[in-house]
Amino acid sequence: MTEGAGHRDGELPDDLTTAEAGMWQAFRNGSVYDLSSGDALVDDPHGGHPWGPERTVRARVVCWLLLDGPPALAGRVSSLQLVGVRISDTMDLAGGTVVPYVELRRCRFEREVLLPETRFTTVRLVDCAVPRLEAARLHTEGDLHLPRSRFPGGIRLTDAQIGTDLLLNQAIVHRDRSGRSIAADGMTVGQDLQPRCWSRTAR
């Protein structure tokens, strides 16, 4: 099945992996999709334990859900709520409009996350491993939460507009090639800014 074909009626695409099919159904139900093993050491997104295909989803499928996903089940509100999931490839939502609520906890991104000129309601990446966050001119109606997440390649939030709160509590942000951990020239935050994060020089 090609992308966009049939899924408007809730039909499950043919080419999804088992992990992706579970994520697809959880999205329609608006429920949390938790692929954690239950072992705190293994589940640490910043640790060295490999996460296999049983807890890996492709970034392309995540973007598909967020930009053009299937309808919610009757009486439910669709949302993407992932815990302990590995996202392979680059998650590229540049220029898109994301309507569903987005919250990822203790997830591991294989490559950078691209959100320049993307519009969200609220997006939360909590205790996630993100190689780099590119989000110049990002616009959120609600919050942007990045607490306890780690960004080895830095964060760009130049000219971003955060509707309510920006949380960076206990985040670890390394310096990028230009020597900056967080580039946020021209950024505006509508309400609270909690910037207590650690800046480190990448080794």
User: Which tens digits make up the pLDDT trace of 135-182?
Assistant: 999 999 999 999 999 999 999 999 999 999 999 999 999 988 888 899
- Mean pLDDT (whole number) for 185-196: 84
Q: Encoding tokens for residue 77?
A: 């509100």
Residue 8 has pLDDT above 60, yes or no: no
CA distance 134 to 156: 5
Q: Do residues 195 and 175 touch, judged by C-beta distance below 8 A?
A: no
Q: Encoding tokens for residue 31?
A: 């429920």
- What is the Cα gyration radius of the chain? 17
Distance of CA 69 to the CA centre of its chain: 16
CA distance 98 to 84: 22
Amino acid 201: pLDDT: 55
CA distance 117 to 137: 5
CA distance 72 to 49: 34
Secondary structure of the chain in the HEC alphabet?
A: CCCCCCHHHCCCCCCCCHHHHHHHHHHHHCCEEECCCCCHHHHCCCCCCCCCHHHEEEHHHHHHHHHHCCCCCCCCCCEEEEECCEEECCEECCCCECCCEEEEECCEECCCEECCCCEECCEEEECCECCCEECCCCEECCCEECCCCEECCCEECCCCEECCCEECCCCEEECCCCCCCEECCCCEECCCEECCCEEECCC
Task: Please name the amino acid found at residue 126.
Answer: V
Q: pLDDT by residue (tens digit) across 115-141?
A: 999 999 999 999 999 999 999 999 999
The residue ranges of every structural domain in the chain are: 7-200
The structure's pTM equals 0.91
